[in-house]
């Protein structure tokens, strides 16, 4: 039967989905036995409607991958959340959680905070560090834009479906980057969706960096999820009298790491100093493949070969050399990421 159909069935959250996947098959009879008659009937109805197949066809047309809890490529860190998303809709590629950070903050960011965020995100991208945020106005948008300027990977986690980008002002930015959502295609944004998406932002990151936030900022929800998951939280200090930095100052008081530039972040996390693909010791095909990895975040050798118009055998040889030099990492599922 169909795991996606079960995931789309009303009142079937991740715990119930896991309960079925671990203990029985996906027949309507088995689902009814485990989850009860009402859910079993709803699942049977959804199967008959063809909703799951329609969702797959729509995703395929949009270039969106559907990744469920049952899939091997589902991000391992998200499996350990208290409430992991049952399904992820991905446009682009997933980040490497070992070498990615989340940069979050207020939508009503000050000019200096916007400039700081953009510069730091650019320098982190140049160092091969992925940048994750929520594609909101303010700090989020600057983080994504800076990462793109640095030629690196950036992921926007949405509080809507990936085909319903919000806010509309960031749609042009969204077209240039990777997008992720737990919401079915066509889902419009709702206020309650944004705090939910913050657990994904934190869960995929090696650390959460709060650039500017007041004491009631939604960015502190992301920091809270990070702390609960044992993920590092770093914050940028502000003046004691500045309300827009009250949340950051409180985080630092409570033990968050104080950072003032990209170098502080790299040092705090044990990452290497900034370097750009194509510079330094990388030349020719190595620089070309490394730059493609920076832009894609992670990729299969076949995808790299197609993107760069190179023979697969040559791409595989270059990837092996990049891995030896520490510029590439072999990931589960035959994928490669930035080293």
pLDDT digits (tens, 9 = 90+) for 238-255: 888 889 899 999 999 999
Q: Is 75 exposed, middle or buried (0-12, 13-18, 19+ CB in 10 A)?
A: buried
Is 87 in the same domain as 108? Answer: no
Is 145 in the same domain as 236? Answer: yes
Is 20 in the same domain as 75? Answer: yes
Residue 317 domain flag: yes
Is 73 in the same domain as 134? Answer: no
Q: Does residue 181 sit in helix, strand or coil?
A: strand
Q: What share of the chain is helix, strand, coil (3-state, %, to 5)?
A: 50, 15, 35
List pLDDT tens digits, range 149-196: 999 999 999 999 999 999 999 999 999 999 999 999 999 999 999 999
Is 78 in the same domain as 107? Answer: no
User: What is the residue range of 327's domain?
Assistant: 284-338
- What tokens were used for 169? 């002002």
Q: Which helix (H) or strand (E) is 210 found in, with range?
A: strand 207-212
Give yes or no for residue 272 having a pLDDT over 80.
Answer: no
Is 136 in the same domain as 265? Answer: yes
Which residues, including other chains, have CB under 8 Å from residue 19's CB and lie 6 or more apart?
Answer: 34, 35
Comparing C-alpha atoms, which of 307, 295, 293 is closest to residue 336?
293
- What tokens were used for 132? 């994750």
Is 104 in the same domain as 68? Answer: no
Strands 178-181 and 87-91: antiparallel
Is 263 in the same domain as 298? Answer: no
Is 116 in the same domain as 260? Answer: yes
State the pLDDT at residue 338. Answer: 77
- What tokens were used for 167? 């806010």
Rounded Cα distance between 221 and 104, Å, is: 10
Strands 298-299 and 336-338: antiparallel
Q: Is 258 exposed, middle or buried (0-12, 13-18, 19+ CB in 10 A)?
A: middle
List pLDDT tens digits, range 14-59: 889 988 888 778 888 888 888 898 998 999 998 989 889 999 999 9
List pLDDT tens digits, range 210-242: 999 999 999 999 999 999 999 999 999 988 888
């Amino acid at each position: 039967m169909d795991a996606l159909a079960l995931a789309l069935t009303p009142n079937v959250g991740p715990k119930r989905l896991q309960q079925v996947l671990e203990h029985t098959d996906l027949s309507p009879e088995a689902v009814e036995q485990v989850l009860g008659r009402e859910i079993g009937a709803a699942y049977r109805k959804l199967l008959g409607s063809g909703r799951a197949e329609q969702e797959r066809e729509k995703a395929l047309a949009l270039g969106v991958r559907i990744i469920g809890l049952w899939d091997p490529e589902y991000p391992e860190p998200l499996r350990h959340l208290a409430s992991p998303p049952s399904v992820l809709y991905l446009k682009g590629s997933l980040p490497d959680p070992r070498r990615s950070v989340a940069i979050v903050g207020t939508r009503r960011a000050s000019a200096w905070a916007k400039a700081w965020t953009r510069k730091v995100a650019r320098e982190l991208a140049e160092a091969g560090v992925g940048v994750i945020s929520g594609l909101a106005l303010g700090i989020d948008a600057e983080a994504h834009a800076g990462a793109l300027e640095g030629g690196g990977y950036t992921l926007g986690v949405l509080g809507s479906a990936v085909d319903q980008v919000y806010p509309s002002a960031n749609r042009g930015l969204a077209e240039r980057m990777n997008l992720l959502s737990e919401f079915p295609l066509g889902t419009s944004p709702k206020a309650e969706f944004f705090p939910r998406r913050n657990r994904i932002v934190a869960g995929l990151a090696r650390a959460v960096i709060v650039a500017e936030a007041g004491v009631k900022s939604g960015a502190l929800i992301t920091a809270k999820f990070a702390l609960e998951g044992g993920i590092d939280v770093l914050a940028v200090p502000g003046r004691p009298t500045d309300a827009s930095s009250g949340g950051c100052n409180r985080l630092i008081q409570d033990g968050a790491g104080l950072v003032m530039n990209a170098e502080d972040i790299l040092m705090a996390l044990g990452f290497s100093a900034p370097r750009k693909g194509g510079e330094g010791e990388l030349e020719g095909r190595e620089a070309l493949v490394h730059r493609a990895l920076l832009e894609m975040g992670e990729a299969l050798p076949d995808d790299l070969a197609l993107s760069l118009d190179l023979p697969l055998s040559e791409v595989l040889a270059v990837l092996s050399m990049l891995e030896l030099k520490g510029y590439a990492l072999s990931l589960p599922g035959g994928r490669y990421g930035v080293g």
